[in-house]
Structure 1
Amino acid sequence: MTTIAEPVPSAGLAPVPAELVGRRVHVRVPATTANLGPGFDTLGLALADYDELDIEVQGSGLEIEVHGVGEGEVPLDDRHLVVRAMRHVFADFGFELPGLKLVAHNTIPHGRGMGSSGAAIVAGVMAVKGILEGVVEVSSQDALRLSTDLEGHPDNVAPGLFGGLTIAWTTPEGPRSKRLNVHRGVSPLVLVPGSSMSTELARSLQPVTVPHEDAVFNVSRSALLIAALIQSPELLLAATEDKLHQSYRAQAMPETDALVQSLRAAGHAAVVSGAGPSVLVLASDPAERLAAVRIAEGQPSPWEARMLAVDFKGATVEVR
């Protein structure tokens, strides 16, 4: 834990109402996986693995504790991503960042393609939603807009906010998303390596243009993937084929690529989770997940198997 001086108030912003001092909120945000193979920068899925935060409004100052993933590694001052997100949301509604005490209990791995940065941003947005309850209404569309401001891509935050399978897109009026329920037979498995991967590095490996036939290929597989996830899980292997991004990134994570190829050769719908290096397997039943784990156990490098359910609630905030 660290304590730092209260940030200098920003010009034109008002302090939060005095009656909010002492208000406490509890935030719970799921892990997410984006792309799902062909749905590059569009599709996302919420997973039942959670970061939880308790935040209290104080008269001044900033106190941060981090337990679990990131403990001893993430900054314990106003550079903390949750605090940065909260400052952005407060400012959007005309308020200064108040004094805060933040206690985080993290389980989502950092830099592994499971949406840890998006979860932190969503947590900050939802925390402010709870803190300002009764003063300002932060709508679902506000939450998506503000989260996307910081994350850059709505597909990385939409599933964390809303749960389930999300389709995200941008318009001149801002980001939009549609939530869909996932077929109960879909059983996600995330295989997490010991090494991390920079999203910025992964994106830098993408070509500026792709062949027309590759674009058409991915359009067809993306449409098929939505059908597979909500109605026909038996189509998941074909539906998760991709030609837009995974092959270009393979050189930066050869162990991930080798595992994906081994799993797919054995009939498993395996893809890179987000920007990687974790591997997502969309199994059609729990027994298939166990078979996929055995393949991962036979790899030269170790992989942590996380057998997760689909999260259907998305982020929640409770005012205490």
Structure 2
Amino acid sequence: MFLVSVPATSANVGAGFDCLGLALSLRGNFTFRSLPNDVIIKGCEPAYCTKDNLVYLAFERTMNFIGKSISGVEIIIDCEIPLQRGLGSSAVCIVAGAFGANALAGFPLSKEELFAICTDMEGHPDNVGPAIFGGLTLSYMSDEHPIMVPYQVHESLHFMAVVPETTVSTHDARAILPKELSYQDAVFNIGHCAAFLKGLETGNTALIRSSAGDRLHEPYRKQLIPEYEPLFALCKAHNALALLISGSGSTMLVISDNKETLDSIEKDILKTCSVTCHQLQVE
């Protein structure tokens, strides 16, 4: 029996559209146990306790890659990560299934090989990278191979995920994006992404504030999140460092250099919006 624990992830991280990701201290825990001849999945709604479960699909694909036959497996899911809220729940399931298969097969694959398998299944590496390697990562594809570059996050920084009750579908989040972008906006994001990474590494609050902007996705996706504007106003009033849309939403990530600011924002946003707040660490 093996326990696989995978962190939630927040992709994009401001201007790092489809390449930056941050591992956070909300976790999904998955227990894998070999069985003689059956597939049993527990811990989720009955409709998902089938071989179509994403955890099992990743488990099966990884076993096939290794070249091992699957006699049977029991998978027990204990996940505190909100689903379909922009916190990388699909990547969590894929990574868990792949790592569970690798464990039951005797650990023949490296993290890098598992990263490639999971990226191929997910379709992009921005959530998979931090889910596997932890921390803050920049991930991209080179000659059809995923590359991961790790970055540090300064210990002085505090994070809070604000999770609305409503979801934003990935289809809607993609459909609302413009088909073309100007050079001006592209240059804006390149500069802001590089500066924001340096700010997160050093804890330079002035640099974080000045480089937290984005022009590729947040101006459009915030229209799909009714809670964005009231939360933005509170972040400004309480002097937070940044407000980011996590993945495609609806979760939003607040960054501050002190816990008291997050406490105040949490208290105020709960008065006006139906949200759940999670003050988190980078994992």
Instruction: Report TM bin, short chain.
Output: over 0.9
**Percentage of matched positions with identical amino acids:** 31
- Give the drift of 1:264: 4.0
Structure 2 residue 92 is the aligned partner of structure 1 residue 124: no
Task: Name the CA shift for 1:188/1:220 in 2 (closer, same or farther; >3 Å).
Answer: same
- Give the drift of 1:258: 4.2
Partner of 2:193 in structure 1? 222
| 1:191 aligns with one of 155, 162, 175 | 162
Higher-Rg structure is 1
Contact 2:8 2:131 in 1 (8 A): yes
Question: How far, CA to CA, are the matches of 1:280 and 1:208 in structure 2?
Answer: 26
Task: Name the CA shift for 1:239/1:245 in 2 (closer, same or farther; >3 Å).
Answer: same
Three-state SS of the structure 2 residue aligned to 1:59 is coil
Q: Structure 1: which amino acid aligns with 2:102?
A: K
Structure 1 runs of 4+ aligned residues shifted over 6 Å read: none
- Give the drift of 1:253: 2.1
Gaps of 5+ in 2: none
The C-alpha deviation readout for 1:46-80, integer Å capped at 9, x for no partner, is: 001111011111111111111xxxx3265101111
| 1:288 aligns with one of 246, 261, 273 | 261
Counterpart mapping for 1:118-197 below 5 A: 118-133=91-106, 137-197=108-168
More helix by share: 2
* Equivalent pairs, count: 281
- Give the drift of 1:237: 2.2
Contact 2:40 2:75 in 1 (8 A): yes
Contact 2:68 2:105 in 1 (8 A): no
Structure 2 residue 227 is the aligned partner of structure 1 residue 250: no
Gaps of 5+ in 1: 1-23, 312-320
Q: Structure 2: which amino acid aligns with 1:26?
A: L
Q: Structure 1: which amino acid aligns with 2:279?
A: M
TM-score, normalised by the number of residues in structure 2 = 0.94
Partner of 2:174 in structure 1? 203
Question: How far, CA to CA, are the matches of 1:204 and 1:58 in structure 2?
Answer: 43
Contact 2:238 2:261 in 1 (8 A): no
- Give the drift of 1:280: 0.3
- Give the drift of 1:303: 1.5
Question: How far, CA to CA, are the matches of 2:270 and 2:144 in structure 1?
Answer: 47
